[in-house]
Structure 1
Amino acid sequence: MTVDRAELVSRIRGAALLQGAFLLRSGRTANHYFDKYQFESDPALLSAIADRLAPLVPAGTDLLGGLELGGVPVATALSLRTGVPAVFVRKVAKQYGTAKLAEGPDVAGRRVLVIEDVVTSGGQIVASAGDLRALGATVDTAICVVDRGEGGCAALHAIGIDLRSLVTGSELL
């Protein structure tokens, strides 16, 4: 059963919004932080998030590319919901075993939807999309649970990626 959007926003806020002084991946400091592991580790909440993200998956998507680490549980839940296979994208290829950057199905020649949990500057999506494209993937869309509204959308647009978000940071404040 799909959770009402307003209720979902309230549940995400209650689980993940922290107040204080926080250093973000982008290097910026913020007086609030979205602790994504709080909504990613809650099976009922993660399931409700996947229900709401599913309609954002573009037609013709071959793979859901969950970015290390926070995008992986979101991509997994979304894969279970949509039936689209997931691939797990490392920040750096491991130096042992298969030594792959993208774990799972081969991305070459496939349309990969990048999945992230929280987007601020978009820096990790930009880097990972470049890596996936170098492996032969088509990357033109990314989705996230929370877009903080701090430049990520513009940064992605500049490299030809459409960002779709479930909620914005301002909705959670």
Structure 2
Amino acid sequence: MNLAELALKVDTACRLRGEFLLRSGRTATEYFDKYRFEADPVLLDELAGRMAALVPAGTEVLAGLEMGGIAVVTALGRHTGLPCAFVRKTAKAYGTARLAEGAELAGRRVLVVEDVVTSGGQIAISTRQLRELGATVDGALCVIDREEGGAAALAADGITLGALLTRSDLDRARATAEQ
């Protein structure tokens, strides 16, 4: 399967039409349900296999963000052989009371992994927290960049965003299939 075919498969599985209230408070007529590719083990494995080539040399730990980034980072770890950390939005108040579980982060070069990036806000917040824990973080990798300013916002925080697919890729794949 080439990248355009993969984009069409993701688009077909995940793009919903209707009326949707977004986190921003805005209403949209399309919604991208990322959990549909995360819950499909064959599709998720194909995506992770392609993403493995995008992991920067020297990366020591993959850090998946709660919640969608956890499935992606686990699949990506299988393809790269790199250890994973699972990063919460806030540290839990019980047990280990940790923000991140799994691989040790302090003193290591960490790549943040996310499913879909819109504004990049959660990556920026989590990166600051991981840096406070002693991790070296200068990059993030996502399955889909919605191309709504996330890459530029992250660059302002010293984070380079890599993406397997973009909203443009999905739109182009859909348009080609509809011809």
TM-score, length of structure 1 as denominator length: 0.94
Q: Distance in 2 between matches of 1:133 and 1:155?
A: 17
Q: Which residue of 2 aligns with 1:17?
A: 15
RMSD: 1.2
1:112 is matched with which residue?
110
Aligned length: 171
Q: Do 2:4 and 2:169's aligned partners in 1 also have CA atoms closer than 8 Å? A: no
Q: Decide which of 36, 39, 48 is 1:38's aligned counterpart.
A: 36
Write out aligned runs for 1:92-131 (5 A).
92-131=90-129
1:28 Cα deviation after fit: 4.4
Separation in 2, partners of 1:138, 1:45:
31
Q: Is the 8 A contact 2:38 2:72 kept in 1?
A: yes
TM-superposed CA distance for 1:17, in Å, is 0.8
Q: Kindly report which structure 2 residues correspond to 1:19-168, keeping only aligned pairs within 5 A, or say none.
A: 19-168=17-166
Q: Could you list the runs of 5+ residues in structure 1 that have no partner in the other structure?
A: none
Letter in 2 for 1:35: D
* Equivalent residue, structure 1, for 2:168: 170
Equivalents in 2 of 1:99, 1:29: separation in Å? Answer: 37
Give the distance between the partners of 2:8 and 2:21, measured in 1 at CA.
24
Say if 1:29 and 1:121 are closer, same or farther in 2 by CA, change over 3 A: farther
Q: For the Cα contact (< 8 Å) 2:20–2:29, is it kept in 1?
A: yes
Higher Cα radius of gyration: 2
Q: What's the secondary structure of 1:139's corresponding residue?
A: strand
Aligned partners of 1:109 and 1:137 also within 8 Å: yes
**Normalised TM-score (structure 2):** 0.91
